[in-house]
Amino acid sequence: TSARVAGLGTTIFAEMSALAVRTGAVNLGQGFPDTDGPDDVVDVAVDAMRSGVNQYPPGIGIPALRDAIAAHQERWYGLTLDPATEVAVTTGATEAIAGAILGLVDPGDEVVVLEPYYDSYVAVLEFAGGVRKPVTLRAPDFRLDLDALRAAVGHRTTAMLINSPHNPTGMVLDAAEREAIRDLAVEHDLVVITDEVYEHLTFDGAVHVPLATLPGMRERTLTISSGGKSFSFTGWKVGWVSGPAALVRATVGAKQFLTYTSGAPFQPAIAHALGHDSAYFEGFAATLQARRDQLCAGLEDVGFTTYVPQGTYFATTDIRPLGFDDGIAFCRALPETAGVVAIPTQVFYDDEDAGRPLVRWAFCKQESVIDEALRRLQALR
């Protein structure tokens, strides 16, 4: 094993999902829905397979999917994109992140990231030799500290890597935060890579506004999203980037040697899914919001301090009211003590203390599954 990879250890998601399988625990760890997305979307994929859509598609994705991504950005956000040069399909948002960083970050470049961060950001920044400059989001509300953001940008900063709606905290950037990001990006001429995979999963009227829509941002922003989250097909691994041709080209320059191309029959299916009417997207968010409320009320009842998220699949708790203080130890023991799996937020922080008592719970699960997890967690009281 190379030192590069050995230093990364095993991703927490693999560790915790394996633990759930081994112990029979209810898995509220890794964020994947336990109900598949719409049948009509599956039908398109199956038809594609049966009709011979099974060989390498174009590296940047099939035209129908690139057209559908461009149409989606126009319809929801008023962003006009050339599907031939300003959109590319990737193998999940994970590859979009990897391609963007490998394609845009040179060794020694500093990249501002919000921590806690999605774990692949750290790994890929290390592959690229980039230096992460974390801006810490703290409980209880996980708002972006604008002074800390400004302080993180220096003369070696070349990019900001933003994520909103934010995993794991569920924070959705507000107007003042977006504008602060924009002002800094424009002032320092930075590229902004923005991971918006939870774009449709916001609650209580919280509005997701893509950073690319702010004045001065379209020409410097690479937007990342994924069919996994919006349509509950996380295992299909269809993601994409959109933005100025130069940024998309850089991403594809790396992508061509990572996977070359992405799963053929899933692409027409996600193209079809992107055309679903607003009722689909609103209905899905409303269902998730109900699951969020169910989980948060239950966790509060067990005795955790619970931070209700504005978006995503995840709620965060502080475990100290129940007499625990180390989320990593708590989560490692939880299958044994309660028959449930959750994710310790500390693993997404560089800051030694900011995430120590925090634990992330996924609510993209059936009502009965959340009920069962909550019933089991009563053992901790």
27, 30, 230, 317: residue in contact with ligand GLN (rule CB under 6 A): 30
Q: What Å distances lie between residue 216 and 41, 113, 179, 187, 209, CA to CA?
A: 36, 20, 11, 10, 15
Residue 93 touches ligand PMP, criterion: CB under 6 A: yes
Q: To the nearest whole angstrom, how small is the minimum distance from the Cβ of residue 95 to ligand PMP?
A: 7
Cβ proximity to ligand GLN: between 185 and 348 the closer is 348
15, 27, 31, 199: residue in contact with ligand GLN (rule CB under 6 A): 31
Q: To the nearest whole angstrom, how small is the minimum distance from the Cβ of residue 337 to ligand PMP?
A: 27
Residue 335 touches ligand GLN, criterion: CB under 6 A: no
Q: How many CB atoms lie within 10 A of CB 289?
A: 17
Site map 238..277 versus ligand PMP, x via CB under 6 A:
-x--------------------------------------
Cβ proximity to ligand PMP: between 99 and 244 the closer is 99
Residue with tokens 């996977």: 259
Give the residue among 343, 365, 352 at the shortest CA–CA distance from 119: 343
Residue 232 touches ligand PMP, criterion: CB under 6 A: no
CB 111 within 8 A of CB 105: yes
Which residues from 190-249 bind ligand GLN, rule CB under 6 A? none
Q: Is 227 left (phi over 0), alpha (psi -120 to 50) or beta?
A: alpha
Q: To the nearest whole angstrom, how small is the minimum distance from the Cβ of residue 283 to ligand PMP?
A: 21
Residue-by-residue DSSP string for 85-141: TSEEEEEHHHHHHHHHHHHH--TT-EEEEEES--HHHHHHHHHHT-EEEEEE--TTT
**What contacts 367, CB < 8 A, 6 or more positions away?**
290, 291, 294
Interface ranges with ligand PMP (CB under 6 A):
31, 92-94, 118, 163, 167, 195, 197, 226, 228, 234, 237, 239
User: By the criterion CB under 6 A, which residues form the site for ligand GLN?
Assistant: 13, 30-31, 167
